[in-house]
Amino acid sequence: MPLILGMSVLLACQFIGELVARGLTLPIPGPVIGMVVLLVGLLVFGKVPKSLRLAGEGLLRYLTLLFVPAGVGLMVHFSLIGNDLWPIAVTLVVSTAVTLVVTLWALDRMNRRRGNGR
Helix (H, G, I), strand (E, B) or coil at 20: helix
Which pLDDT does position 118 carry in this prediction?
56
pTM for the full predicted model = 0.61
CA–CA dist 11, 30 (Å, integer): 11
Helix or strand or coil: residue 70? Answer: helix
- Residue 10's nearest CA partner among 46, 67, 59, 45 is 59
At residue 117, the pLDDT reads: 53
Q: How many CA atoms lie within 13 A of 77 on its CB side?
A: 11
The reported pLDDT for the residue numbered 63 is: 87
> Residue-wise pLDDT tens for the chain (118 aa)?
888 999 999 999 999 999 999 999 999 999 999 999 999 999 998 889 999 999 999 889 988 888 898 889 888 988 888 899 999 999 999 999 999 999 999 999 999 988 865 5
